Structure 1
Amino acid sequence: MSGFAQYELKQGDNGGAVLALSGPYLVSTIGAVDAELRALDGPISQVDLGGVSEIDTVGAWVSSNLATAHGAEIVGASERATRLIGAIEGVEGEERVAASRQPVWERVPSAMGQKVFNAGTGIRGVVGFLGAVISGFASLIRHPRRFRWLALIRQLELVGVTALPIVGLMSFLIGIVIAQQGAVQLAQFGAETLTVNLVGRITLRELGVLMTAIMVAGRSGSAFAAQIGTMKLTEEVDAMRTIGISPMEALVIPRILAAVLMMPLLGFYASGVAIIGGAVIGDVMLGIPFWTFLLRIQEVVPLYDLWVGLIKAPVFGLIVALAGCYHGMQVHGNSEQVGLRTTMAVVTGIFAVIVIDAFFAVFFTEIGWG
């Protein structure tokens, strides 16, 4: 069996035991004797490699470990074996892969400094991305024939039409919850009829468009980041640049326009469905007829509440689309980045929408639309 690694224990000239290895000691052949070599017990004075016909790094590693474990010397090694054994000397199998934990007074400032540095890098990246988007829009204005209408229509379908069922269900349930909880609280003051005011104003002004923006961030914002990130990872974006196609014009701008155009429609649709949900609860719990509830909405809800929601909607759509596309374009390295950037797109999109909504609330109150 010359094609397999072998060994033999024999008595040496100086009276000590000699472990004679023979045959090819390669990664493909050493498995037959590895367990037996590890189980060897007793003093061994020498490890003889004179009978080894071929050896690789694994064979050299096993030979070196045997000599170290038994305190033996290696003899009969060929030039290649000597070179390989010399290369692996001092390498530890249990080597630590991470630095020791620093004290808290060093670790906290270091972590904060790193976060500040990353924030600065992120701000520069966002500003550069916004500049590229504006440049892309300007280029399309100068050359309108380059605009990809089919891509825009496809994104309008994905962002708007396919979102109607889930947005409608969510809004209907939100309307039910607002009406039910509002009626319970207002009943303490004998003002159950004000549930109509509560449902109408809060859905048209705030929750309708806000919850829609959160849903679009979870659906479309994550999809933008994942799609563009995967294309970036597979070098499709680089290939587009190579053949003279601008990724901003082909990938980013249609998605941004789709989100901006569809958000007002989705927000209005969500508000309407939420009011219908409130009307159902009003009919069931409060004894307010369904159609009376809807007619009452027209009387108690100011028209500017509708305009507040419609003004905020395209801004929210822009924020969600920018977050998704930006993080998609930042993917690099490996597939883990796709999941990481997709998560960051959703989180930053929702966070930015809520922050901007707070600013809108203060602004509209100051101008008398509160």
Structure 2
Amino acid sequence: MARRSTTESGEQPATVTLVEGRTLRCQGAWTMPEVARAERVLAAMDWPTGGAFRFEGSGIAAFDTGGAVVLSRAVMDARLRGCEVTVEGLRSEYLQLMSLVSANWSVMMAHVAVRPDGTQLLQALLRKSMTQALQGLEFVGRTSTALVRVMSSPARIRWRSTLNSLRLDGVNALPITGLLTFLIGVVIAYQGAEQLRKFGTNIFIVDLVGISLLREIAPLIAAILIAGRSGSAYAAQIGTMKVTEELDALQTFGLSPIELLVLPRVLALVVALPLLTVYADVLGVFGGMLIASNQLNVSFTAFLTRFEEAVALRHFLIGIGKAPFFAVIIALVGCYQGFQIRGGVDDVGRHTTISVVQSIFLVIIFDALCSILLNWWDL
């Protein structure tokens, strides 16, 4: 907060006048609202080199921290040019304020906010992104090393933790996954029926529902549900353990947190998500069958016959093949964000949210890359 001595409304703006090349006469109100003009003049001033130089401040009518900063900077600029500077005519309280500013100059300048331009913002964003990417790759490397070590000695696998995670993340997710994919199948078939009926191509509802669900929508919806349901739980559980120093206790006992907490979740999700995807495929197609029967007069028998002819096995295999990769992404991101928690409960909530957002983002990016590559390979 600015410290102001005596300020009255209607004061003249701060002015500087160079007299005989060696005296700078300062007049007016050297306060924050009025000092801008004098600051511009001082910034453009061509200071003499060497010799005596005098600042004459008897004409200063008001003075605050802003004026003290501007005048102190001018004094330092003159001294940098080798001048022997004296300040005369200032009131005692103004001199005290200048002394206070000069004594704390380095601290004040360290807190001056510099507005970065677009290039600086982009560079800062890229540096932060690269740092996070490298930390994430390091975590993936440590997890991979632990997985190789565990696979070489299967007795080290935490089977009880793995089965418990399989129950929580697989079996308990069946109701919400089935309901949502059933409704998705209903929506796709209903919207498609409105268009196919216009052209008399009702039977092609089978192609629309079958290929879109098996190849893309069912695995993606299942992965997004698991990211919101299980990925967030991983981050919250591990983060809470870190806040309560349980992870430190595990390391003290010689136990690896990655082997104990990360690998069981990864292995369980790699098994659970493909099975959930198959379950989602069945219920999604069933929802499409109901709408096809009610809206387009396509019987269940005709639907299944056309489904066998039109929907190739590769669409099902592609959808199922993506599910384990989705599972690895979700599990690793959730666990990684849990290990990144440093603060208290607020930090747990923040990283839990980040884990969900990053998991869904990376899953969609991976799915898009798969679609591009499979299109190049004509699959």
Instruction: Say whether the fold is shared (TM-score over 0.5).
Output: yes
Specify which of 331, 334, 340 is matched with residue 324 of structure 1: 334
Structure 2 letter corresponding to 1:311: G
For 1:298, the equivalent position in structure 2 comes to 308
CA, structure 1 residues 121+290, in 2 after alignment: closer, same or farther (shift >3 Å)? same
Q: Distance in 2 between matches of 1:234 and 1:119?
A: 29
* Corresponding letter in the other structure for 2:288: G
1:177 maps to what in 2? 187
Partner residue, 1:277? 287
Give the corresponding residue for 2:35: none
The within-5 A match list for 1:185-334 is 185-334=195-344
Match of 2:124 in 1: 114
What TM-score does the superposition give when structure 1 sets the normalisation length? 0.70
- 3-state SS in 2 of match to 1:333: coil
DSSP 3-state at the match of 2:239: helix
Structure 1: unaligned runs, 5 residues or longer:
1-98
Deviations 1:219-252 (A, max 9, x none): 0111111111111111111110110111001100
Distance 1:177 1:101 in 2: 53
Q: What are the Cα deviations for residues 314-366 of structure 1, in whole angstroms up to 9, with x where unaligned?
A: 11111111111111111112221111111111111111111111111122222
Equivalent residue for 1:353?
363
| CA RMSD of superposed structures (Å) | 2.1
Measured in 1, the distance between the counterparts of 2:259 and 2:345 equals: 25
Partner residue in 2 for 1:133: 143
Distance 1:116 1:368 in 2: 35
Which residue of structure 1 lines up, in the alignment, with residue 134 of structure 2?
124
Q: Does 1:362 align with 2:372?
A: yes
The question of whether the paired residues in 1 share the 8 Å contact of 2:197 and 2:296 is answered with no
2:55 corresponds in structure 1 to none
Task: Name the aligned partner's letter for residue 299 of structure 2.
Answer: P
Give the equivalent residue in structure 1 for 2:31.
Answer: none
Match of 1:338 in 2: 348
CA contact (8 A) 2:209 2:288 kept: yes
Letter in 1 for 2:377: I
SS of the residue 1:126 aligns to: helix
Give ranges in structure 2 of 5+ residues lacking alignment. 1-110
Contact 2:169/2:226 (<8 A) preserved:
yes
Q: Describe the superposition over 1:104-139 as per-residue Cα deviations: whole angstroms up to 9, x where unpaired.
A: xx2544443332222122122111101110111122
Q: 1:195 and 1:219 mapped to 2: Cα distance?
A: 32
Letter in 1 for 2:199: F
Match of 1:145 in 2: 155
Give the drift of 1:300. Answer: 1.3
Q: Identity rate of aligned residues, in percent?
A: 43
Q: CA deviation at 1:367?
A: 2.2
Q: Structure 1: which amino acid aligns with 2:323?
A: A
Letter of the 2:271 partner, please give it. L
Letter in 1 for 2:216: E
The one-letter code of the counterpart of 2:347 is Q
Cα distance in structure 2, aligned partners of 1:249 and 1:212: 26
Deviation at 1:102, TM superposition (A): 4.9
Is the 2:203–2:303 contact (alpha carbons within 8 Å) kept by the matching residues of 1?
no
